[in-house]
Amino acid sequence: MGEILAFTRMLDHSPGFEYHRHMSILLRNLARFVAKKAAADPRARELATRAAQGAFKEAKKIARDDDKARAAGRAFRKALNSIQKD
């Protein structure tokens, strides 16, 4: 949980990466909620781990691509389609 809170604080203070104040608070609260759920429930922990690994793989693909905006759009569409299937 400490890593998630450190990440959300980084979003608040990093130059060139500015969120509106209320959006940062929303992200921090969402990260805190997910961390608490994952800590309390083994099934939720497994799902959170798999989701984080999938997000990491997609982030690596986006970072390697020449057209990062297009790669990010494809990743977003892929995630949206997987959510709509469920």
Nearest CA-CA partner of 57 in 83, 37, 39, 75: 75
Mean pLDDT (whole number) for 41-50:
86
The reported pLDDT for the residue numbered 3 is: 58
Q: What is the mean pLDDT of residues 41-51?
A: 86
- The chain-wide mean pLDDT, for the chain, equals 76
DSSP result, 24-80: HHHHHHHHHHHHHHHHH-HHHHHHHHHHHHHHHHHHHHHHH-SSHHHHHHHHHHHHH
The answer to which of 13-22, 44-53, 63-72, 76-85 has the lowest mean pLDDT is 13-22
What pLDDT does residue 82 have? 82
Q: What pLDDT, in 10s, does the model give residues 1-43?
A: 555 555 556 555 555 455 455 556 777 788 888 888 888 888 8
